[in-house]
Structure 1
Amino acid sequence: MAGKTESATYTHGHHPSVLRSHSWRTAKNSVGFLLPHLKPDMKILDIGCGPGTITVDLASYVPQGHITGLERVGSILTQARKNAQEKGVTNIDFLEGDANGLSYEDNTFDVVFCHQVLQHVGDPVGMLKEMSRVAKPGGIVAAREADYGAFVWYPELPGLTEWQNLYDAAARRNGGEPNAGRMLHVWARKAGFRDVNCSCTMWCYASKEDVAWWSESWFERSVASSFATTATEHKLAKKEDLDRIANTWKEWGQDEDAWISIPSAEILCYKE
């Protein structure tokens, strides 16, 4: 079905501050719901793999199998390939491609999954259908998506509510769905899956080190990433608004009681 292309714009973009955040992700802290279902000889497709840290981790779970990381922005794959090479992982490859129209034959993979991708696409149901197409009968289609409207933090600074509202507006302006988590199971059923196994896990940053890392990340992302570009170019916010939001993230990170939870919904479906 190659040929269909993505209509939405990726809200976060690929600024170094974004890639540093994504490089924190591992198989255990991001796709733990999938791990018990993996077998050593499986063939896996990781859609929207980014810098490839999850992909490289998953390769160790299929030592007699193979994993492919697919990413629309080919330049990021240099980092992914370097990561695999440094860790001596060989049952892996990284390819540039658009998941709306995969270049694979029907029934190719044992597992097809994506992590924090469907919230950024124009047709999540269509992408899930395409994921199902290339999965083998009896194979797994899985996804994990955050829900920005369900983020909870302490202390409850007004600037962070402003950030949450602005992120929602920017993501929707780009054609995405920032509250994807609560809709993920519905999209799966619309894509034709009858047995949709649902779960929910969250990242929680409460230690001094984790709070500082998340605070510093969004301090920079608020003014320098594609999120900031979307906000200013489409007149959703002015530079001074972004500066105020960035400084609020810094203020939050300096509070000794700072805490944030980031929930993500998960689906695991078997292709009939």
Structure 2
Amino acid sequence: MSAKTESAIYTHGHHASVVRSHSWRTAQNSIAFLLPHLKPDMKILDIGCGPGTITVDVASLIPQGHITGLERAGSILTQARANAEAKGVTNIDFVEGDANALSYADNTFDVVYCHQVLQHVGDPIGMLSEMKRVVKKGGIVAAREADYGVFVWYPELPGLKEWQDMYDRIARRNGGEPNAGRMLHAWARKAGFGDVRCSCTMWCYASEEDVTWWSESWVERAVSSSFATTAIEHGIAGREDLERISRAWREWGEDQDAWISIPSAEILCVKE
């Protein structure tokens, strides 16, 4: 068992605007590629569970099983536990921990998965290796990661291109890899998986409701979340730059033709 700890800084942080965005995620809209492989009595580990909305959904799909949500930022687990309680889900627990050094014995879980986590860590290959260690032989390790370099939106406002470039610089300054999606399968093979099954899906926001939700999230996140704090502390951007990006997201969200696609790569790995 490794004693390694996380070296990277989580780019988004846990500002209220970020948590609201993450709370939109469900098992169906975020890990649909994994769901056909779940069985009612499985023991599952969710790495980087955040507010637990995906975790709680998965719990309902394994009524004779159990799922553990693991999160490095323990403060968010209060909300995760409240989400489970509100839905009457009892085959679940949430623990604080570092996925670089999991406190579980080898071959403990039937499935170990993470969603939008590996892009934010210093050693994604090492983390996948640790996930592989704790999954049973024949079990599944799964991951889904966005690729910020291939986000596409309309209208093509200059401020949003500035945001994309700035996000890349901030994420790399924090020790992460914002274009993780395109590398995910290669990381898995380097972690020792021979059976790596790849797919790609995307979130697409085009309805007035979805566009407004995404726009308002980044209007606030651009100036108030850890994204903004890192940008200022490390001289990547000033307050005026961040406010300009915030205004660009508002302008985009007010356009009746606004549209954005957010692609994510997916891997499903079987431990041999």
Aligned partner of 2:87: which letter? K
Q: Is the 8 A contact 1:2 1:103 kept in 2?
A: no
Aligned partner of 2:100: which letter? N
Deviation of 1:81 after TM superposition, in Å, equals 0.2
Alignment of 1:181-196 (within 5 A): 181-196=181-196
Aligned partner of 2:205: which letter? Y
- CA distance in structure 1 between the aligned counterparts of 2:24 and 2:145, rounded to whole angstroms: 16
Count, aligned residues? 272
Alignment of 1:134-145 (within 5 A): 134-145=134-145
Deviation of 1:2 after TM superposition, in Å, equals 5.0
RMSD: 0.5
Deviation of 1:154 after TM superposition, in Å, equals 0.1
Provide the residue aligned with 1:133 in structure 2.
133
Provide the residue aligned with 2:228 in structure 1.
228
Provide the residue aligned with 2:98 in structure 1.
98
- CA distance in structure 2 between the aligned counterparts of 1:157 and 1:254, rounded to whole angstroms: 12
Deviation of 1:3 after TM superposition, in Å, equals 2.4
Deviation of 1:91 after TM superposition, in Å, equals 0.3
- CA distance in structure 2 between the aligned counterparts of 1:243 and 1:144, rounded to whole angstroms: 31
- CA distance in structure 1 between the aligned counterparts of 2:44 and 2:2, rounded to whole angstroms: 19
Q: Is the 8 A contact 1:159 1:245 kept in 2?
A: yes
Q: Secondary structure at the match of 2:68?
A: strand
Superposed CA offset, 1:190-237 (max 9, x none):
001011100000000000000000000000000000000111100000
Aligned partner of 1:197: which letter? R
Q: Is the 8 A contact 1:51 1:80 kept in 2?
A: yes
Aligned partner of 1:153: which letter? W
> What's the % identity of the aligned pairs?
81
Segments of 4+ moved more than 3 angstroms: none
1:22 aligns with 2:15: no
- CA distance in structure 2 between the aligned counterparts of 1:68 and 1:167, rounded to whole angstroms: 31
- CA distance in structure 1 between the aligned counterparts of 2:177 and 2:2, rounded to whole angstroms: 24
- CA distance in structure 1 between the aligned counterparts of 2:237 and 2:208, rounded to whole angstroms: 30
Q: Is the 8 A contact 1:40 1:63 kept in 2?
A: yes
Alignment of 1:2-13 (within 5 A): 3-13=3-13
Provide the residue aligned with 2:81 in structure 1.
81
- CA distance in structure 1 between the aligned counterparts of 2:150 and 2:181, rounded to whole angstroms: 9
Task: Give the TM-score normalised by the residue count of structure 1.
Answer: 1.00
Provide the residue aligned with 1:248 in structure 2.
248
- CA distance in structure 2 between the aligned counterparts of 1:171 and 1:210, rounded to whole angstroms: 25
Superposed CA offset, 1:83-136 (max 9, x none):
000100000000000000000000000000000000000000000000000000
Provide the residue aligned with 1:215 in structure 2.
215
Task: Give the TM-score normalised by the residue count of structure 2.
Answer: 1.00
- CA distance in structure 2 between the aligned counterparts of 1:195 and 1:73, rounded to whole angstroms: 32
Q: Secondary structure at the match of 2:45?
A: strand
- CA distance in structure 1 between the aligned counterparts of 2:266 and 2:156, rounded to whole angstroms: 27
- CA distance in structure 2 between the aligned counterparts of 1:38 and 1:183, rounded to whole angstroms: 25
Q: Secondary structure at the match of 1:201?
A: strand
- CA distance in structure 1 between the aligned counterparts of 2:213 and 2:82, rounded to whole angstroms: 23
Deviation of 1:61 after TM superposition, in Å, equals 0.9
Q: Secondary structure at the match of 2:237?
A: coil
Provide the residue aligned with 2:258 in structure 1.
258
Where does the alignment leave 5 or more consecutive residues of structure 2 unmatched?
none
